Structures are given as C-alpha cells and as structure tokens.
Amino acid sequence: MAPIAVGDKIPDGTLAYFDEQDQMQQVSIHSLTAGKKVVLFGVPGAFTPTCSMKHVPGFIEKSDDLKSKGVEELLLISVNDPFVMKAWKKSYPETKNVKFLADGAAKYTHALGLELDLAEKGLGIRSRRFALLVDDLKVVVANIESGGEFTVSSADEILAAL
C-alpha cells in the first residue's frame, strides 16, 4: 500500500486512549478530525529514545504555537497498547493538548500505509515516524521519515508549513 500523501483523505479507524477519568475510550479518527485542522503524528514506539526525548516533547512544547496557527487537535499515534500509552503520557510533567492514541494492532498505521518492520530489532511491526497536517480530513502536509530518521516530522517543520 502506498503511504498517505498530500491531497489524500485520511482513512477512518478506531484508536484507544484513557480519558481524564482514567476510563479507556475508543475513538474514531474522523470524529476527531472532521471539520478541523489537526496534526496527526506517529512514532515507532512509546518510551523509545528519539520519540520520548525529541519528537513528542517538541509537539508538547510547541502546542500553543500550533494552536495559535489554527491547529485544533494534536493527535499522537503509536503502535502500542492503551495502557502503555497511558503510562507514557504520565511520564511527561505536562502534555498540554497532545492526545496519546493507541494503535495496538497497527491497523490504522496499515491504513495510512506507514508500517515499519522492526522485527529484526525485536519490536515487530511499528509505525514510521511522521507528521501530517490535516484540514477537514484532507492531508495538506505529509512529512514522512525514512527508517528511524528524525529530520522532517518535527513540530517545527509543521509550524514552518503553517
């Protein structure tokens, strides 16, 4: 499957997260993105070095700047279970507007065409690192990394595109 690209409509899919009352919720991506300008960004795995120390903190730190440019939702997707995503979220002193969404079986990652096979490293199927700027379900910017790189999918790159 070809990776999602500029001009594509994002597929719908159901992901999981824990709400403020610590209850697990299932949510449709389209319910979070329809009629809105959002950033959908994905990482290979929770608690991994680049994801935890650079990619996610960048979106947390720049969340106010992104909101001031009209971004209504910051949606983090990782191929991890919802309990891992909950623990990962709690590992940050503040997560501001970033919603941590679990794609436990990589079904949504597959629908985006962004799988990354890390079986040789003992991680199985994961997500490529990416950042999509989406306006009313349509991809406006698609910054997709090769392998484990972190060069084009940062919050600063999305801000520059805005």
Pairing of strands 73-78, 37-43: parallel
Which of 4, 43, 46, 51 is labelled catalytic? 51
Annotated catalytic, 151?
no
Alpha helices per DSSP H over 34-101: 49-50, 56-61, 63-68, 82-90
3-state secondary structure of 7: coil
> Is 42:130 a contact under the CB 8 Å cutoff?
yes
Q: Catalogue the active-site residues.
A: 51
